[in-house]
Amino acid sequence: MPEFFDTIKGFGVTFRQMFRKVDTVEYPEVKRPTAPRFHGRHQLNRWPDGLEKCIGCELCAWACPADAIYVEGADNTAEERYSPGERYGRVYQINYLRCILCGLCIEACPTRALTMTNDYELADDSRESLIWTKEQLVVPLRPGMEAPPHPMRLGASEEDYYQLGAMLAASQAGSGERNPVEKGPVQDWPVQGRDGSARQGEVQ
Ligand code: SF4
Ligand code: SF4
């Protein structure tokens, strides 16, 4: 007798589901927004004058448990400067065949150069196209930014640069309190899709 009721209970579960609202989304025509802190693909950020935040230190590559990041640093010179400070990331690659989107690399980055967006459309049918290069990962220039190489343009000293840079980035993000170097999230920073199209993404 108890076994008989188990069967009825099992059918009851199925029966209840028949009257529930369908939760299926017609992807890719319909796309649900992700959770705000969703770990999507990475991006490399810039300072407000357009210089790159990446200093080529390779800490992200060392932190990665999947060995998915390859970085080659190089020296900035007075004539050819890509980032503030001594070094910049000359080569930067992320292999999305290996990456498990765990976020350890962005935690390791000392300059908040590397952050993650909400972009999850990473599937492809060739291995080569899943190795994203620096050119694909670096955030597009915003109005008022100048494409590197160029000198540090924010203030007269290095101290000025970082203080003014943080303040300007905060005002660009629409919040007077936010310091992107220390706090990170910038809700509406434009990110670039693989095809070069602009997408909205959340930086974490
Ligand atoms: S998200 Fe994780 S697996 Fe992917 S590159 Fe960063 S550390 Fe490596
Ligand atoms: S992304 Fe950050 S951790 Fe990685 S090389 Fe650049 S500065 Fe260093």
pLDDT digits (tens, 9 = 90+) for 82-112: 999 899 999 999 999 999 999 999 999 999 9
Question: How high is the pLDDT of residue 22?
Answer: 85
- Name the closest-CA residue to atom 4, ligand 2: 60
Distance CA(35)–CA(152), nearest Å, equals: 36
- Name the closest-CA residue to atom 8, ligand 2: 57
Residue 1 CB burial class (10 angstroms; 0-12, 13-18, ≥19): exposed
Kindly report whether the peptide bond that precedes residue 84 is cis, defined as omega within 30 degrees of 0: no
pLDDT tens per residue across span 173-198: 765 433 333 333 333 344 444 444 44
The bound ligand whose nearest atom lies closest to the alpha carbon of 58 is 2
- To test ligand 2's pocket by mutation, which of 60, 90, 91, 204 has the most ligand atoms within 8 angstroms of CB? 60
Distance CA(202)–CA(204), nearest Å, equals: 6
Domains, the chain, ordered by start = 33-200 (3.30.70.3270)
Ligand 2 atom closest to residue 58's alpha carbon, by position in its atom list: 5
Asked if 77 contacts 178 with a C-beta cutoff of 8 angstroms, the reply is no
- Name the closest-CA residue to atom 6, ligand 2: 54
Q: What is the distance in A from the centroid of ligand 1 to the CA of 132? A: 13
Measure CA 61 to chain center: 15
Asked if 204 contacts 106 with a C-beta cutoff of 8 angstroms, the reply is yes
Distance CA(37)–CA(204), nearest Å, equals: 7
Spatial CA neighbour of 47 closest among 107, 93, 106, 113: 113
